[in-house]
Structure 1
């Protein structure tokens, strides 16, 4: 393309919201892990909070969750951006869309499928749309659908992910898109958040970093596995839902032979039923060594980010040395 196409109608509102954040961070939606408690703590700490709509067992429960969140957060409720699986296997799409419209959320993050079928209705409701994508082809289709933002799933992202190099992915998408870009994949500290911005992203998308926080819904065994894991303990597998996903080796060692784990196509029920729940984690897992509050994690990220900014400026703008000359003046 000769120039980047114009993004959707909500991009200006997204940029305004991003400018108000304490840090350019999304506490990414995690199946069964991100509940209202985690979202509320993230938004209260000054970052975007997201949870999958399917973490509520019904649309009525989702409605109740959003009511409680928005009433409790006050002005910080604008930082709430729920996630919606748009795969055709999700029979709740229309009902959940109506719920989002009723609550006038700022934005919705779509995943596991093309956003074509939901962008228009969300825009009519005044809601911005971000779509997660794992390839340039996925990104181009989402842009044609009129999304306001893209979440680039790159190598090392937790859960369902992509395989592209993050720097190359951001660069190529920026040639095609002038909207908001969130970068997902291996971001676990403040220095990485800055690197995402320098690469051309507007937001860093962090899920793994919040796995072991006090508001996470992970059980004790999952938390402990996260605390003990490093990058080499994260494996990429398609056996969970048919989509490549980053899963802890410790969970695979226990469950991979389990016949309940599918190698077939995407199954929405596998996200919500009581079957084997995979311990997902991204490459940033080694950044977690203790259970902290969400507020403490955000404060640590903030301090690391500001230190990284100072270090970078010092590195590339060194103190000039006095000019000296030899011989007679």
Structure 2
């Protein structure tokens, strides 16, 4: 059974947090449209000596969603989520945990490591913690360390994707875990959302289609590349962060590299330092999942959610007679 905070969405979708791309404009639009909007805490970057931008972002999101709810009591906004990168290279982690705790963030998403203290902070302020995993072994560790739910990041997902089929990953997790389970991996249509549910996931985790939205903090060329590309234009490489991820081949070529001849990166080299000498994911090397063949134009986020909702309802009616 889903926790109440995830049980009454317009459609069973959580928008995944995308490095650089996801910010307050996109999150607010997603939540108002009826799905969970999210962003990585690391996207809120202030200059040295300035107040914490994350604090300002959370204040703005909460205030705008509250105004929306007061004006639309019959159609309240969905909750929002903040993603914490818990890898040791994230020097801001403790500060960002404290800010999220102060703002009582309702949904915490953790990546690149499971940390009990992060889950405890989420629970202490009344939130829930979801952890993304690429295999069943990591899934067990996450639950053992206090996560409330899991995000199964399967082959075809954008960013740090796993190598396993979504069928294999979901069915292995469901042999022992009956809590909240999200599925990520090339989900770009309402029919794919329904397929994720049929496989055993509670919710779909959708990212790349939202890059091609008006509210996304992405360059126009990036949005256009999403629209013009398909699955064959997505390549997998560990060079840019030390962890295997999926990226757009045209952006790799634009950075002067051959996407067919990329060196292997090491996880020990992972760094979120803006001064890193290697091409930067995702500001220079643009991430994407394999589902972008379904993205045909740049639209408002609300329009994308409308399409997903319509396709989801049509697919249910066709397959289930509901």
Query: What TM-score do you get using the length of structure 2 for normalisation?
Result: 0.88
Cα distance 1:274–1:55, how it changes in 2: closer, same or farther (>3 A)? farther
- Secondary structure, counterpart of 2:81 in structure 1: coil
* Aligned residue number for residue 175 of structure 1: 175
Q: How does 1:154-193 map to 2 (within 5 A)?
A: 154-193=154-193
Deviation at 1:78, TM superposition (A): 5.8
Deviation at 1:155, TM superposition (A): 0.3
* Aligned residue number for residue 153 of structure 1: 153
* Aligned residue number for residue 8 of structure 1: none
Which ranges in structure 2 are unaligned for 5 or more consecutive residues? 70-75
**TM-superposition CA deviations, 1:60-85 (whole Å, max 9, x none):** 10000000010110145661111010
Q: Distance in 2 between matches of 1:136 and 1:170?
A: 9
Cα distance 1:251–1:29, how it changes in 2: closer, same or farther (>3 A)? same
Deviation at 1:244, TM superposition (A): 0.7
* Aligned residue number for residue 5 of structure 2: 17
Q: Distance in 2 between matches of 1:127 and 1:274?
A: 37
Asked if 1:38 is matched to 2:45, the reply is no
Q: How does 1:299-318 map to 2 (within 5 A)?
A: 299-314=306-321
Q: CA RMSD in A?
A: 2.2
* Aligned residue number for residue 136 of structure 2: 136
* Aligned residue number for residue 264 of structure 1: 266
Larger radius of gyration: 1
Which ranges in structure 1 are unaligned for 5 or more consecutive residues? 1-11, 318-329
Q: How does 1:57-206 map to 2 (within 5 A)?
A: 57-58=45-46, 60-74=52-66, 75=69, 79-206=79-206
* Aligned residue number for residue 72 of structure 2: none
Asked if 1:29 is matched to 2:17, the reply is yes
- Secondary structure, counterpart of 2:299 in structure 1: coil
| Of 116-125 and 160-169, the range deviating more from structure 2 | 116-125
Query: What TM-score do you get using the length of structure 1 for normalisation?
Result: 0.86
* Aligned residue number for residue 73 of structure 2: none
Deviation at 1:167, TM superposition (A): 1.3
Q: Distance in 1 between matches of 2:313 and 2:166?
A: 22
Aligned equivalent of 1:295, options 282, 296, 302:
302
Could you list the runs of 4 or more consecutive aligned residues of structure 1 that deviate by over 3 angstroms after TM superposition? 75-78, 270-276
